[in-house]
Structure 1
Amino acid sequence: MRHTLHRLRRDDGMSTVEYTLGTLAACAFAVILYKVITSPMVQDGLTAVLRKAMNTAF
């Protein structure tokens, strides 16, 4: 029983498959974020916000 509990608690870190899936998920998220940021609608919105901020009197 003690040996089984010790074996279940052991954490040897991530395996190669887990690293691969994590890297793939991070890359997919980066691509989606890039597509959103470079879309014309978001670009227009960011430009409008920056113009408004630059024209605001302090």
Structure 2
Amino acid sequence: MHNIFRKLKIRLLVTATDESGMSTVEYAIGTIAAAAFGAILYSVVTGDSIVGALTNIINRALNTNV
């Protein structure tokens, strides 16, 4: 009977401390964070102020006298 409890205790400890699935969760969280950062960056770059500033820079570059 003592042997059964010992095996059960070892099995529970191994199950509680097993971290083999952590890398999958970390990759998933990293992917979600990257997608959110991309969405924020896209909304900033496509905003009117950025598009206007880039258009102004390109127009000044094309209209310079050399």
User: What TM-score, normalized to structure 2?
Assistant: 0.62
Task: For CA contacts below 8 A with separation 6 or more, give which structure has more relative contact order.
Answer: 1
- Percent of paired sites with the same residue: 48
Which runs of 4 or more aligned residues in structure 1 lie more than 2 Å from their structure 2 counterparts after TM superposition? none
Separation of aligned partners in 1, 2:64 and 2:32: 43
Unaligned 5+ segments in structure 1 are 1-11
Unaligned 5+ segments in structure 2 are 1-19
Total equivalences in the alignment: 46
Larger radius of gyration: 2
Which residues in structure 2 correspond to 1:1-58 (within 5 Å)?
15-58=23-66
Q: CA RMSD in A?
A: 1.7
